[in-house]
Structures are given as C-alpha cells and as structure tokens.
Structure 1
C-alpha cells in the first residue's frame, strides 16, 4: 500500500509554478494581485453569467467562504479567461488554500498580509466601476444626469474599504467624493482621475510650492481646492485635460471647502 500511495503521488499532476516559487509567495505576486482585480471587475459588472449566482463581493467571511466554495468552477472560468494562463493551474491546485487566504483574518494585522492585499482588489474594482459610471453620466444631457447612481457606488466603495487596509489618501478621496455629488459627477473629477493615473511630472508648476499633487489627505485636498489656490489648480488641470474644468465647479468646490475644511483651513 505504501508503494502504491507513493506511485499515486508521483503521477498526480502538479501545477507549474514559475521558478519554483512557494504558493504563499505566488499569492503576493503582481500577477495574482492583477488577476484578482480582473476577477472582481468581472464580478462587479456581471460580465460572466455564472458570477450572478454567487456573491463573490460578500464582505462577511463566512458567507464569502460559502460563495467561493460553491462557485469554484465559475471563479476558475473567469480566471482562465481574464488572467495569465498559469494562474488557472496554480489556483485550481491550491483552491482550498486560496479560499482560506481570502476568508480568514490573519492573526497579525499588518497590511502587507495577503488577506488584505487580495480583498482590497474588490474595492479597487468597484472604484473603477464608479469612474466608468461618472463618465457615462457626463455623456448624458444635463437634465438627465443622475448623480445618485454614482453616490451609491461611492458609498459601496466606502463600505468595502471598512475593515481592510487602505492609505489615508485613499480613504480621504472616497470620503470627499461623497460630500458634493455635483462635484464628483463632473469633468473636473474625470480630469483629476486622469492625472492621478498618468502621474505626469508636475515639478514645473511653481505654484504647487513643492507639494505633491497626488497626496489626498484632508489637509492637502483642502489646501489645493481653496480659493487662493484655484488658479494653480486651473493651470495644472487645463494643461493636462485641454480645457478649463475648474470654472464650471467653482461653486461646488466652495461647498466642499465649507463642509469639509472648516477645521483644516485657517483663513482664505
């Protein structure tokens, strides 16, 4: 029996893991992180009919575990379609360990833990959906725009982020997005998102006074949007987005300052 068992082990198919990397390190790879982002984007948008049968976006870990266990075939179908080819083999072979990683909060609460890294991709997928919805709303006639839909998506992102690890910048960006819907659903916001993604070198703008344009903490956002800094904001956004996106939202920026920055700013 012992020799039979060894023989069976030898003939079992073993997934090809690049360069012999252990599974727990595979989970930390960019390929895995990007795969989960694509998977959750698919789940959010319901691009695969099978994903509608399982709540892969569930926050409760017990329910999430049930969804991923029952939805294994669906999960792997999406991975096979959307991710690097080797992810399918690795995830299929180590599926139970993968589900454990997604659903058991680690004893050590460091944000570098795989649990936080992979589950965070769910929130990033929802953020991408919100950005698409903002652009969709802006294509509508002004009288038909519905900022409520965007606000619901924004609130979903905020709920998703709760209990996970995100930087203060990321948390503040979503929190500020919920304050003035008209500002969020605007070409100004689309322009800011574009600059954030492309990360151009803004060192030529002396008016930024050596402050990073990409920091999103309340202090930096309030300082950047205050009246005395608007011309600087206008110069940066107009150069990179081809038009004045600040002027149409001046009043909404004032509202944001009034609602969120009273305890941050001093004077005008």
Structure 2
C-alpha cells in the first residue's frame, strides 16, 4: 500500500512513456481488492482515495491533457456550433457535469477533430465517464496536485494567449480613447486575470505579469497617452525651449530614444505634458511613466 501511494503521488510529474503501466495497474487493482473486505471508515476512505488516484493516473496516460487543451481552445474560439448549447466551462460543478453528460456527442465531435486518434478512441464509453468525474469532482486538496486543478487552469490558457497576441498589435501612437477594441481587450484582460487568480496552478509571477498587461491596456485609455500622441503628432513649437524637445522626437520609432524620454528626460516630459495638455495628463505621471517605460518602451533598449 505504501509502495502504491508513493508512486501515485509522483505520477503526474512523469511523462506517459516513463510510467510502468502494467505494474501500476496491477498495484491499483490489488490494493483496492485488499481493502474491500475491511468495513471500517478508514479503509473505505482509503479505497476512495486510491480509486480516484488510479483513475487520474490512467487518464494522464491517455493523452487527456493535450486533448483538453485543444478542446478548451476550440471552445474559446467558438469553432463548433454544438458547444454553444452546453456550458462546459461553468464553475458550478453540478451544471458542468450536466453539460458533459448531455453534451457527450458534442465533446466527442470536438475530440475527434482536435485530438489524437488514440485519445479520441479512449474517451468513448466507459472511459468518458471517468474523464467527466475528473473534470467535475473537486478533490479539495491543498497541494493543487490533481488533474482536476490542472484542467481547471487549462481553461485560462486560450484567453491568456489571446490577450498577449492582441497586445502586440496595440500601438500607443495610434490607439484612440474609448476604442471598442481597446475596451474589449481590457475586459478580456481583467476576465483572464480573474481566471488565473481563482486557479491554484498559476504562480504569483504569472499573475503579476498579466496584471501589468492589464494596467498597460488601461493606460492606453487615459489623458496621459492621449497627450503623448498630441505631442508626437503636433510637435508644438512653443515648447521648443524644453531640452526634451531639442534632442528628442516624440514621434520617433527608435526604441532607445523613446526609452530615454521616460527615463533620463522624464522630468522634462512631465513639464511639457502639463504645459500642453493640462493637469489631467500628469495626474499620475510617475506611475504611468514608470509603467510605460518598464513594460513597453525600455524592454529592448
């Protein structure tokens, strides 16, 4: 029993080909049979634990994880019409089970097209029921070492990748305040941040990184960025007495030069922005300038 417990504890860190399938399968079966005659609560609890662990191990070896990654990606990008009829992503585990139960044909249609033939065949009855149990039963562990938690976290991946993909197209020189695309991106970023926050598989660094992205998107919809755009486009001559207007061009595409504006020339830029755009543009200047500099302008400079 100790031998099985030790192996199962670490199975999820191994690649499928590293696992000794027959050995672990035999241990799972023999341990459960050994415990079955015992009627005490501790024995019954142990049976439940081992059955769940063995089920998780079996599913891990079925290539379920990459398949579910494709499945969640297909849901996010609405690639299949049938998926609109089932709430596969609900946090309500009872409703989620209903979605996977009544939407089995939809799930298997997606799996057949998006997953390997091996896992697609594996996820047909009765193995489908095992997968649904893993997806819909929270083991309530503090260690976060469970397929359930990994699969929960996987739901965040498509939207997280979408945020970063759309951010690459965001230009602070041309973005307009109130732009529907900008508002949509900000909503998505905040939704993704909440997804990461409520899933234990994501570390603090990943959450902080996405939070910075959201702050940067918020910054694009402020007087601060609008003023920078005006300075770059209009190049006011009445500010030519300022040093940052003599040697630096606000419309430059040179990364080092743009970085210098909000680093070495930061004080001068603040004076220029206040003089040209008013107090609103510099209300949170130090915070906004540091965010723009550290996360956008000076990464490669």
TM, length-normalised to structure 2: 0.52
Matched, 1:74 2:109: no
Report how many aligned residue pairs link the two structures: 187
Q: Distance in 2 between matches of 1:86 and 1:51?
A: 22
- RCO higher in 1 or 2 (8 Å CA, sep ≥ 6)? 1
What are the equivalent positions in structure 2 for 1:1-268 lying under 5 Å apart?
Answer: 20=21, 23-29=55-61, 31-93=63-125, 94-135=127-168, 142-143=175-176, 146-165=181-200, 166-181=202-217, 244=255, 247=258, 250=262, 254-255=287-288, 257=290
Distance 1:133 1:95, change over 3 A: same
Distance 1:25 1:243, change over 3 A: farther
Unaligned runs of 5+ in 2: 1-15, 26-54, 222-252, 267-284, 295-301
Contact 1:101–1:115 (8 Å) recurs in 2: yes
Q: Distance in 2 between matches of 1:135 and 1:156?
A: 19
Q: CA deviation at 1:123?
A: 0.5
Q: CA deviation at 1:136?
A: 5.4
- Tell which structure's C-alpha radius of gyration is larger: 2
Q: Distance in 2 between matches of 1:70 and 1:246?
A: 59
Q: What is aligned with 2:244?
A: none
| CA RMSD between the two structures | 3.7
Q: CA deviation at 1:142?
A: 3.5
Q: Distance in 2 between matches of 1:129 and 1:258?
A: 21
Q: CA deviation at 1:98?
A: 1.1
Distance 1:137 1:244, change over 3 A: closer
Q: CA deviation at 1:167?
A: 0.8
Q: Distance in 2 between matches of 1:99 and 1:34?
A: 16
Distance 1:20 1:47, change over 3 A: same
Contact 1:177–1:184 (8 Å) recurs in 2: no
Distance 1:243 1:30, change over 3 A: farther
Unaligned runs of 5+ in 1: 1-16, 186-241, 262-268
Contact 1:102–1:115 (8 Å) recurs in 2: yes
Q: Distance in 2 between matches of 1:48 and 1:258?
A: 39
TM, length-normalised to structure 1: 0.58
